[in-house]
């Protein structure tokens, strides 16, 4: 069973940086597209960024040029470097792992979430 454990959330001042980490275990990391999602109070969960095992990335328009997703396949870890944070980035951030064969095997996993609060 795949497990995802996020870390790195917390309180940060507007304009500052923060880096989230997500440790993956219980499966073959290279077989998963890794993503970061976030959910603010009263809002739906939304995609922030995702990365394939080959390093191709995709970002939400709201975080392009500020956030950077990366993965270390040797450590089975995915990172989200967040810069120039603003109050609209305040949310619970969730790590996601979706199998490259999701439409066949249905493997899709979530971490427990880590809170990010940006103070203005």
How far is it, in rounded angstroms, from Cα 46 to Cα 25? 24
Tokens of 4: 């995802």
pLDDT of residue 83: 98
Q: Which residues of the chain have pLDDT under 70?
A: none
Helix (H) or strand (E) holding 105: helix 102-105
């Amino acid at each position: 069973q795949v497990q995802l454990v996020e870390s790195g959330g917390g309180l940060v001042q507007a304009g500052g940086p923060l880096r989230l980490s997500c440790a993956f275990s219980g499966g073959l990391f290279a077989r998963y597209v890794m993503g970061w999602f976030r959910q603010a109070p009263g809002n739906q969960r939304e995609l922030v960024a995702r990365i394939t095992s080959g390093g191709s990335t995709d970002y939400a328009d709201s975080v392009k040029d500020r956030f950077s997703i990366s993965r270390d396949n040797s450590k089975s870890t995915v990172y989200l470097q967040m810069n120039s944070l603003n109050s609209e980035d305040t949310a619970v951030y969730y790590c996601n792992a979706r199998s490259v064969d999701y439409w066949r095997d249905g493997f899709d996993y979530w971490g427990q979430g880590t809170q990010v609060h940006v103070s203005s």
